[in-house]
Amino acid sequence: MATRDDTKDQSKAADEAARTARTVTDEAARVGEQSARAGADMARRGTETARDVFQAGLNTANETFQRMSDQVTNVLGFNGPQAEELARR
């Protein structure tokens, strides 16, 4: 048969186990939240980097096309008054 002291000791041990379990659970939740935030931040940065690379590619293509267009216009003589006349026709 258990004595009062044994029952008190068991109750204290159960309380301490419950506190430890809460502490571990709280810490695990905190680490999980930090991990989720870090993952979201990495995804956002990756998306921004991809967008920037895509935009740079579009800008390069646009500049290249503009230079080619200017060169064709110059070679064919479609500049100045001649270009205006051609546009009217």
What tens digit of pLDDT does each residue of 11-32 get?
888 889 999 999 999 999 999 9
How far apart (Å, rounded) are the C-alpha atoms in residues 42 and 63? 32
Does the predicted TM-score (pTM) go above 0.75?
A: no
Instruction: Output the six-digit token pair for 30.
Output: 């905190």
- The runs of H, that is alpha helices, within 1-89 are 4-76, 81-88
CA 25 from chain center: how many Å?
29
